[in-house]
């Protein structure tokens, strides 16, 4: 539903953001299809969380910002006080706040987000790319959970936007990437982003063996990243990883989902399995720095441009795998 609402006025500590660009995300698609998200929001409410814009109004007590400043706003703010925040694991903050509503002309940014989650957008960084800071920050957080020192080969299951961002960043770091997906067109994008090899998978329990056979010694990759959110892919990740390797489970499944894991292989092959979620302030800054460098060709992910009236159609085309992402401008 598209509504017209009064433009809010920022109170002390708040700012009013005029959106320059927002990008669609798999999480937005989950909200659109399921009517909510288990951690971020419940509908009805405004949504959209990958954003960049220009400050249109400044509340009292915000000395670091001026009207006209171009910024990127991350979609969460941590408390900085709990044991997770003190340990540098702000994504697990017990008081974590979320900000949604980027599919709009204006967004009121609360004080906590102004203080902790607002970043200057560098001159020369295109708004459409700057809006993808948030998902790239999730990728950087995922990679920070890995031991990459001796990794020369990685398998990625899932050529959605996040999986493809993993491809681009790992290829940039000189790691050979094998990408598996159900859609040939997405595998072609993966090649543009640096995938060394692509595998058209079937979506069943044989995919792990198929992907493992594509590795250099047919024994699996040292690192496997699951980026689909389907339990079959979680199971196949265990089959595709090399002995002594690491599996990163990034794709979020619906609550209550279970997956089959080969416990014999997990134990006797000394496989490490980690779940990763969201991003941290350090990875938001790292992602923004990488985008500013211009070394990742992420423009290939933006396959459609639309206005607010076109969001529903764009999400429908994402659901049918016709496009990867859309950039929304007003």
**Helices 133-144, 281-293: crossing angle, 10 deg rounding:** 120
**Helices 311-319, 26-34: crossing angle, 10 deg rounding:** 100
Give the pLDDT confidence score for residue 34 in this predicted structure.
65
- C-alpha–C-alpha distance, residues 234 and 231, integer Å: 5
Give the pLDDT confidence score for residue 56 in this predicted structure.
99
Helix, strand, coil percentages, rounded to 5, for the chain = 35, 25, 40
pLDDT tens sequence for the chain (330 residues)? 889 999 999 999 999 999 999 999 988 887 777 666 666 666 667 889 999 999 999 999 998 999 999 999 999 999 999 999 999 999 999 999 999 999 999 999 999 999 999 999 999 999 999 999 999 999 999 999 999 999 999 999 999 999 999 999 999 999 999 999 999 999 999 999 999 999 999 999 999 999 999 999 899 999 999 999 999 999 999 999 999 999 999 998 888 999 999 999 999 999 999 999 999 999 999 999 999 999 999 999 999 999 999 999 999 999 999 999 999 998
264-281 b/e (C-beta count within 10 Å ≥ 16 → b) = eeeeebebebeebebbbb
Q: pTM for this structure?
A: 0.96
Residue 252 phi, psi (nearest 5): -85, 125
Look up residue 131 and give its DSSP letter: T
Q: Which residues are within 8 A (CB) of 288 and not within 5 positions of it... i.e. 6 or more apart?
A: 72, 119, 122, 130, 133, 137
**Superfamily covering domain 146-275:** NAD(P)-binding Rossmann-like Domain (3.40.50.720)
Residue 275 phi, psi (nearest 5): -90, 140
CA distances from 146 to 155, 223, 250, 281, 303 (A): 13, 8, 12, 18, 30
Residue 131 and residue 327 in contact, taking contact as beta carbons nearer than 8 Å:
yes
Give domain 15-132+299-328's CATH number out of 3.20.20.100, 3.90.180.10, 3.30.420.40, 1.10.1040.50. 3.90.180.10
Residue 20 phi, psi (nearest 5): -90, -35
Greatest CA separation for the chain: 62
Distance spanning both ends of the chain, measured CA to CA: 16
CA-based R_g, the chain, Å? 20
- C-alpha–C-alpha distance, residues 171 and 242, integer Å: 19
- All CATH 3.90.180.10 domain ranges in the chain, comma separated: 15-132+299-328
> At 212, which helix (H) or strand (E)?
helix 207-213
- All CATH 3.40.50.720 domain ranges in the chain, comma separated: 146-275
């Amino acid at each position: 539903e598209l509504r017209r609402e009064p433009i809010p006025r920022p109170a002390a500590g708040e700012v009013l953001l005029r959106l320059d660009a927002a990008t669609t995300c798999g999480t937005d698609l989950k909200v659109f299809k399921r009517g909510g998200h288990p951690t971020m929001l419940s509908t009805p409410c405004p949504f959209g969380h990958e954003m960049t814009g220009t400050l249109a109004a400044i509340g009292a007590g915000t000395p670091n910002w001026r009207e006209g400043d171009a910024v990127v706003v991350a979609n969460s703010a941590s408390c900085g006080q709990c044991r997770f925040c003190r340990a540098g694991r702000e994504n697990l903050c017990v008081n974590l706040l979320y900000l949604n509503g980027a599919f709009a002309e204006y967004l009121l940014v609360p004080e906590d987000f102004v203080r902790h989650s607002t970043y200057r957008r560098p001159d020369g960084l295109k708004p459409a790319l700057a809006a993808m800071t948030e998902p790239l920050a999730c990728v950087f957080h995922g990679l920070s959970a890995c031991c990459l020192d001796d990794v020369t080969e990685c398998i990625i299951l899932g050529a959605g936007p996040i999986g493809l961002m993993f491809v681009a960043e790992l290829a940039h770091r000189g790691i050979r990437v094998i990408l598996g997906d159900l859609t040939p067109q997405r595998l072609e994008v993966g090649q543009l982003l640096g995938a060394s090899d692509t595998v058209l998978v079937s979506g069943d329990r044989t995919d792990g063996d198929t992907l493992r056979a594509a590795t250099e010694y047919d024994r699996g990759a040292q690192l496997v990243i699951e980026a689909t959110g389907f339990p079959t892919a979680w199971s196949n990740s265990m089959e595709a990883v090399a002995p002594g390797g690491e599996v990163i489970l990034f794709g979020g499944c619906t609550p209550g989902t279970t997956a089959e894991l080969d416990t014999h292989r997990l134990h006797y092959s000394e496989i490490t399995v980690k779940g990763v979620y969201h991003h941290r302030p350090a990875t938001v800054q790292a992602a923004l720095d990488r985008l500013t460098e211009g070394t990742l060709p992420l423009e290939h992910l933006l396959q459609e441009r639309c206005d607010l009236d076109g969001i529903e159609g764009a999400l429908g085309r994402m659901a049918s795998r016709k496009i990867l992402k859309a950039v929304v401008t007003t």
